[in-house]
């Protein structure tokens, strides 16, 4: 097999980082993946429950990647005061890729947010996933409790299924927006991705789904622990207006906020340039514009650049950034295949 003599460091072992690692290793580069968690896999291991994706599938792929020569380093943070600095990586490797995902959760800062019993979704899912795989028992248990999930997306559905398995008394998933239609709306024509009403396997197991509700206040009977949520019923007009048409108090012993993620954790990476959304800024070749100079080039891809999105996008961008790295460090060699980058287009009915 061709060996290039070039080395690449990848920070983050989620779908984007693993996709880039495999492409580069197969082209003869020495690849080292750095992961701050205790196990490899990122979102695939700690964010997606076992009932949705069996971890044996991930482990099988990791065995394949290891056999292909990829080196994995866990429990290692990269940053200004981390276990290894970005400057050190740029000195030791020929290229560096950041595939660290978008992990800062979007909060709901309403009165009562300080009460015990309110958690971001990943605070709940990660330890629950570890427990499901035979690890330590999760400190957050839904057994015998009334659970409310704020957020109607896939992460909320993962919390729903997990709470069912822990024996919750009731589970209610609350969505801010109105209920989508079961068929493609006229203003979302092909090939755009339509926002459709869907029922996941977790929803089939039970629980209530509420739409057009906005959290107004978290309430407590004893002053310290959550006991209920005050929500507003909303009415949406065709011109985008929103009107409050009523209020309701929902019983809740536990709340999981699954309102999405606002960006990557970059507080220890001050030399990386950010865009207006506080994501890593890259050029058309996936390279960070703030990391130019005599040291190794720095690239980024996945949710850390795009923002919270789908796993398939992360994989595609991992392959794309691998092609960009290949062109930068071994330009005379055969180019790696890469997916076409999406283009912006305004669609109208």
Instruction: Report pLDDT digits (tens) over 153-194.
Output: 999 999 999 999 999 999 999 999 999 999 998 888 888 888
Residue 341 has pLDDT above 80, yes or no: no
Residue 67 has pLDDT above 90, yes or no: yes
- Alpha helices, DSSP H only, in 27-153? 43-46, 55-67, 86-92, 121-132
Are 237 and 192 contacting, i.e. CB atoms less than 8 angstroms apart?
A: no
Res 349: pLDDT:
44
Average pLDDT of the residues in 219-231: 98
CB atoms within 10 A of CB 81: 8
Question: 184 is written with which tokens?
Answer: 């493609």
Residue 82 has pLDDT above 70, yes or no: yes
Sign of torsion over alpha carbons 306, 307, 313, 318: positive
Res 25: pLDDT:
97
Res 195: pLDDT:
87
Res 188: pLDDT:
87
> What CATH number labels 107-257?
3.50.50.60
With tokens 């400190």, the residue in question is 139
Beta strands in 6-145 (DSSP E): 7-11, 30-34, 71-73, 95-98, 104-105, 118-120
Q: How many CA atoms lie within 13 A of 157 on its CB side?
A: 14
pLDDT tens digits, one per residue of 280-294: 999 999 999 766 667
Pairing relation of β-strands 228-236 and 242-251?
A: antiparallel
Mean pLDDT of the chain: 93
Average pLDDT of the residues in 334-344: 70
Are 94 and 9 contacting, i.e. CB atoms less than 8 angstroms apart?
A: no
Question: 152 is written with which tokens?
Answer: 């109607």
Q: How far is CA 218 from CA 208, 215, 314, in A?
A: 19, 8, 35
Work out the pLDDT band at 81, boundaries 50, 70, 90.
Answer: confident
Residues β-bridged to residue 11:
34, 98
The C-alpha R_g of the chain, in whole angstroms, comes to: 22
Average pLDDT of the residues in 114-143: 96
Residue 347 has pLDDT above 50, yes or no: no
Cα(19)–Cα(65) distance, rounded to whole angstroms? 10
Are 310 and 325 contacting, i.e. CB atoms less than 8 angstroms apart?
A: no
Question: 251 is written with which tokens?
Answer: 């019983």
Residues β-bridged to residue 108:
none
Boundaries of every domain in the chain: 7-103+261-329, 107-257
Question: 285 is written with which tokens?
Answer: 């070749």
Which of residues 185 and 338 earns the better pLDDT score? 185
Which of residues 46 and 341 earns the better pLDDT score? 46
Res 180: pLDDT:
93
Average pLDDT of the residues in 31-60: 95
Residue 269 has pLDDT above 60, yes or no: yes
**Distant-in-sequence, close-in-space partners of 96: CB < 8 Å, separation ≥ 6:** 8, 9, 10, 11, 86, 89, 90, 291, 296, 297, 298, 299
Residue 345 has pLDDT above 60, yes or no: no
Question: Domain spanning 7-103+261-329: which CATH class is it, in words?
Answer: alpha beta
Same fold, 7-103+261-329 and 107-257: yes
Res 335: pLDDT:
82
Question: 263 is written with which tokens?
Answer: 């960006």
Average pLDDT of the residues in 318-333: 94
Helix (H, G, I), strand (E, B) or coil at 303: helix
């Amino acid at each position: 097999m061709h060996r290039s003599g070039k080395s690449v460091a990848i920070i983050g072992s989620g779908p984007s980082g693993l996709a880039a690692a495999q492409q580069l290793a197969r082209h003869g580069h020495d690849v080292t993946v750095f992961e701050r968690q205790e196990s490899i896999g990122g979102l695939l291991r700690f964010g997606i429950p076992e009932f949705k994706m069996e971890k044996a599938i991930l482990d099988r792929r990791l065995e394949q990647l290891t056999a292909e020569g990829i080196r994995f380093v866990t429990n290692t943070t990269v940053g200004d005061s981390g276990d290894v600095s970005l400057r050190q990586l740029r000195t030791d490797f020929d290229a560096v890729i950041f595939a660290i995902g978008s992990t800062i959760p979007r909060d709901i800062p309403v009165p009562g947010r300080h009460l015990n019993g309110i958690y971001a979704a990943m605070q709940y899912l990660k330890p629950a996933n570890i427990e499901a795989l035979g690890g330590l028992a999760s400190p957050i248990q839904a057994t015998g409790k009334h659970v409310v999930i704020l957020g109607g997306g896939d992460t909320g559905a993962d919390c729903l299924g997990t709470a069912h398995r822990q024996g919750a008394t009731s589970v209610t998933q609350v969505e801010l927006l109105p209920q989508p239609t079961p068929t493609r709306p006229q203003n979302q024509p092909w090939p755009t991705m339509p926002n459709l009403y869907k029922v996941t396997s977790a929803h089939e197991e039970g629980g209530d789904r509420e739409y057009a509700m906005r959290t107004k206040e978290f309430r407590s009977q004893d002053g310290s622990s959550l006991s209920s949520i005050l929500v507003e019923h909303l009415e949406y007009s065709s011109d985008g207006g929103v009107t409050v048409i009523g209020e309701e108090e929902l019983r809740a012993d536990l709340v999981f906020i699954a309102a999405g993620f606002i960006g990557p954790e970059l507080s220890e990476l001050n030399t990386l340039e950010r865009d207006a959304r506080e994501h890593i800024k890259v050029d058309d070749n996936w390279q960070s514009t703030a990391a130019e100079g005599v040291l190794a080039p720095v690239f980024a891809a996945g949710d850390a650049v795009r923002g919270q999105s789908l796993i398939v996008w992360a994989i595609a961008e991992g392959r794309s950034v691998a092609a960009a790295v290949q062109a930068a460090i071994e330009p005379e060699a055969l180019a790696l295949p890469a997916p076409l980058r999406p283009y912006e287009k305004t669609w109208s009915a």
